[in-house]
A and B are shown apart, each in its own frame.
Chain A
């Protein structure tokens, strides 16, 4: 990021807000799918994985059943691989039972261009054939570049393109909040 001194950071969600948003998402997932049968949650690394785990915990709290959770690394399916130096890969862990004929809920922290979800759909395609794929995100910040939408949104945050949205989670960052950083005039 350029002119660091002119960046202004703003906290838009605090830890308790995040927790409430995830609780609502968990309820909506159950409501939409009429229960937890056939559900599989797949988090997209890095922040999507702890989020998927938390949603799964909440679902098992409400429904008293454990639902399968895994992770889906999409690095090898990105469309901007050639624009950046090669990235290290993250873990892909498909829960036992696979994803065939299941309702797969992809979980990520921020929905922006939609390209990550596009890559995730391609990755799923190579792993199996789910009955349905849904998308849950903590933040939808707009600026879609592909015809993709989220089924479950924690919070819509209107942003400008020069802003960045940072999700900090206790599991990965020792701190929990959502911050938008505006890069200022360029």
Chain B
């Protein structure tokens, strides 16, 4: 594996399967009386969150703590960032405090890349979502959830078709998923109104469609993306109601899907908008499980990037 996890494309197929297999074993510790492993004792993980997040931050925090790492939470609000401190200065502060890993969420695409490549810090950089770019650990937990249900928690995802529906243009989740699903041998199908598909979608590794009803019967899983409220006024679609009618997942549409098909959502859900409450709470929905799987997958990533000797990993080896 590479030293950092900035993009889903940093993972080869072998790496990705290793993360999922490791996560599978780590998932069993949540059934134990002592939900803790000593593996990262004495290591410091900094959660550097420039953007609001509940589940990703808590998930990384729980994962780090279960591996006995020390966790320092940093949010831009109430820090020197609000006084205008630059990313470089913040990074160097963390460096001098001895951070071994920096989990970064940033509103600007490319911030984790900058941190990983500029030699400001020695720490491992893990992207927890940057702008409209990528969110690789979300893609890993989605792949884990799909694999667990449809491939008995083993091997890759070859032959599986996954529809990713909604705001593809602004979604870092969609981008990372498209890359990782392809790496694992699955076929991602992007579904959105033309205004919400990025320019050059035909060059992405996968299929795309403007029509949800055509796609649904042939997929094994459907991933609904949140319609970001802040985009509502930007005229990407005429009205929320129209979007919901054409691209929302409701009970009728669910019926047209294959029986084994899964419904995923990275959260937070807008019930009644991209997904109805009935579907969100149906037996096909694995939304709640995704959250639990997120902790296992992030533990696996932290262990694989931080647990061994740094010198043996990544481009900097030897």
* A88-B308 in contact (CB<8A): no
Nearest-CB residue, chain B, relative to A89: B25
| CA gap between A91 and B25 in the complex, in Å | 6
Our pick among A77, A86, A88 for the contact of B37 (Cβ within 8 Å) is A77
Query: Inside 8 A of B26's CB, which chain A residues have their CB?
Result: 89
The answer to whether A92 and B37 touch across the interface, beta carbons within 8 angstroms, is no
Q: Interface stretch among A10-18, A59-67, A120-128, A156-164? A: A120-128
Interface size on A, residues (CB 8 A): 20
Name the residue on B nearest A123 (C-beta): B37
Set of chain B residues within 8 Å of A83, measured between Cβ atoms: 309
The size class of the interface chain B forms with chain A is 20 to 34
- B32 contacts partner chain A, Cβ-Cβ < 8 Å: yes
Kindly list chain A residues whose C-beta atoms are within 8 Å of the C-beta of B32: 126-127
Return the CB mask of A111-131 against B: 1 if under 8 Å, else 0: 000000000001001111000
CB–CB A88/B307 < 8 A: no
What A residues does B247 contact at CB under 8 A? Answer: none
Which residues of chain A are within 8 angstroms of B22 by Cβ–Cβ distance? 88-89
Interface of chain A residues 126 through 157 with chain B (CB within 8 A)? 126-128
Question: Which residue from chain B places its CB closest to the CB of A92 in the assembled complex?
Answer: B28
A122 to B41, CA, bound (A): 14
Given A89-B25, A127-B32: A76 and B38 interface contact (C-beta under 8 Å): yes
Say whether A85 faces chain B, with CB atoms less than 8 Å apart. yes
- Residues of chain A within 8 A of B304, CB atoms compared: 86
Pairwise interchain contact B25-A73, C-beta atoms closer than 8 A? yes
Which secondary structure characterizes the binding site on chain A? loop
- Interface membership of B289, Cβ < 8 A: no
Q: Is the CB of A89 within 8 A of B38?
A: no
Asked if A81 is an interface residue, CB under 8 A from chain B, the answer is yes
Cα separation A130 to B36 with both chains bound (whole Å): 19
For residue A92, which residues in chain B have a CB less than 8 angstroms away from its CB?
25, 28
* B22, chain A: closest CB distance, angstroms: 5
> CA of A127 to CA of B37 in the docked complex: distance in angstroms?
11
Known: A88-B21, A89-B22, A91-B25. A76 touches B39 (CB 8 A): yes
A127 touches B33 (CB 8 A): yes
Question: A90 on the interface (CB 8 Å rule)?
Answer: yes
Instruction: Report if B312 contacts A (CB, 8 A).
Output: yes
Min CB gap A94→B, angstroms? 8
Determine if A82 and B38 form an interchain contact, defined as CB atoms under 8 angstroms apart.
Answer: no
Q: Mark B33-47, 1 if CB is under 8 A from A, else 0.
A: 110111100000000
Q: Are A126 and B308 in contact (CB under 8 A)?
A: no
Contact A81–B307 (Cβ < 8 Å): yes
Residues in chain B near residue A73, CB distance under 8 A: 25
Q: How far is the CB of B295 from chain A (nearest CB, A)?
A: 15
B93-126 interface bits toward A, Cβ cutoff 8 Å, 1 = contact, 0 = none = 0000000000000000000000000000000000
Output the residue of A84, A88, A89 with the most chain B CB within 10 A.
A89
A residues in contact with B309, CB < 8 Å: 82-85
Q: List A contacts of B308 (CB < 8 A).
A: 81-82, 84-87
For B1, list chain A residues within 8 Å (CB): 86
CB of B313 closer than 8 Å to a CB of A = yes
Residues of A near B36 (CB, < 8 A) are 126
> In the docked arrangement, what's the CA distance between A73 and B26, Å?
11
Q: Which of B1, B307, B313 neighbours the largest number of chain A CB atoms within 10 Å of its CB?
A: B307
Beta-carbon contact of B313 and A76 below 8 Å: no
- Structural contact, A86 and B303, CB atoms closer than 8 A: yes
- In this complex, what residue of A is CB-closest to B310? A82
Chain B contacts for A82, CB-based, 8 A? 307-309
Contact: A77 with B38, CB < 8 Å? yes
Contact A85 to B39, CB < 8 A, known contacts A91-B25, A92-B28: no
Task: Give chain B residues whose Cβ lies under 8 Å from the Cβ of A90.
Answer: 25
Closest to A87 in B: B308
Q: Give 7 closest A-B pairs by Cβ, nearest first.
A: A86-B308, A85-B312, A89-B25, A126-B34, A76-B37, A85-B308, A76-B39
* 17 pairs, A vs B, C-beta closer than 8 Å: A73-B25, A76-B38, A76-B67, A76-B303, A81-B307, A81-B308, A82-B309, A84-B309, A85-B308, A85-B313, A86-B308, A86-B313, A91-B25, A122-B38, A126-B32, A126-B36, A127-B32
List 9 other contacts, CB 8 Å, given A89-B21, A90-B25: A76-B303, A82-B308, A85-B313, A86-B303, A86-B304, A87-B308, A122-B38, A127-B32, A127-B34
Interface residues of A, Cβ cutoff 8 Å to B: 73, 76-77, 81-92, 122, 125-128
